[in-house]
Chain A
C-alpha cells in the first residue's frame, strides 16, 4: 500500500516562472492538503481539496492555486515565482469521513528553489 507520493523531488526555477507540483494521496484517502515549509520553520497551511473543490485556504496569495482530479490526486501551481517561494512543499492526505488526527499522512515533499 503506497503512502503519499509527491513529484518531483527537487525543482529549480527562476523568478517569474511558473511551477506545478504533484501529489498522489494514500490509497483510500479523498482529501489533500498542501503546506509550505520554509527552512527552519514549521509547515504552513496553503489550502485543502475535497471532492475536486478547494475547501479551506490559508493566508497565501492567489499566485498559489490548486486542483484535485477525480482520482483524488492533486496539483499545486505557483505563478510568478518569487525568491521567497523557495521552500519544501508538503502534501498531506486524509479521509474526510475519519475523525482521527492520526489519519493525516504527509508525503516526503518537493524541494523548490527559486533563483
Chain B
C-alpha cells in the first residue's frame, strides 16, 4: 500500500479555508485517495474520495494533480465544529468496502474563534 505523509497539525480561524496536503509518492495505478474525519471519542467518518483532477461534495473538495503523487483536501469556510483529525488514505478502490483501511497519523486541525 502506498504510504502517505501529511502535516501533524494545522491551526485556522472560523470562516477561513483550510487546505491539507497529503503526499503519496508511491501511489499505484489502481489506487484511489480517500479522506476521513475523526472527532474526539468517535470513529472516523468518510469525507471524500477521488482518483484524479477535482472532486467536490457538500463537505469538501479534493484536488489531485496529474501525477497523483499528492492531493489536497480543501475545507471551505471552516467553523469550530470542523476541529478534528483528518486522515488521508490511499488504496485500491476495487472491493473497497471490504478493504482494510491503513491510517497514518493524520492532521489535527484546530479551528479557533
Distance between Cα atoms of A31 and B60 in the complex (Å): 28
The answer to whether A94 touches B97 (Cβ under 8 A) is yes
A41 touches B95 (CB 8 A): no
The answer to whether A4 touches B93, judged by C-beta atoms less than 8 angstroms apart, is no
| Chain A residue nearest in CB terms to B100 | A45
**CA separation between A35 and B42, bound complex, in Å?**
13
Assuming the contacts A98-B97, A99-B96, A101-B93, asked whether A42 and B103 have C-beta atoms less than 8 A apart, the reply is yes
B97-A99 in contact (CB<8A): yes
Q: Which one of B17-25, B43-51, B63-71, B76-84 is at the interface?
A: B43-51
Interface residue tally on A, bucketed by range: 35 or more
**Pairwise interchain contact B98-A50, C-beta atoms closer than 8 A:** yes
A78 at interface, CB cutoff 8 A: no
Chain B residues in 8 Å Cβ range of A58: 100
Given contacts A42-B87, A42-B103, A42-B105, contact A31 B43 (CB under 8 A): no
- Decide if A108 touches B96 in the complex (CB within 8 Å): no
Given A42-B106, A45-B100, A111-B41 contact (CB < 8 Å): yes
B87 A99 Cβ-Cβ under 8 A: no
**A4 near B94: Cβ-Cβ < 8 Å:** no
Cα distance, A94 to B100, chains bound together (Å): 11
List residues of chain B with CB within 8 A of the CB of A94: 97-98
CA distance A98 to B71 in the complex (A): 25
Binding site for B on A (CB under 8 A): 4, 31, 33, 35, 41-45, 48, 50, 55-56, 58, 88, 90-92, 94-109, 111
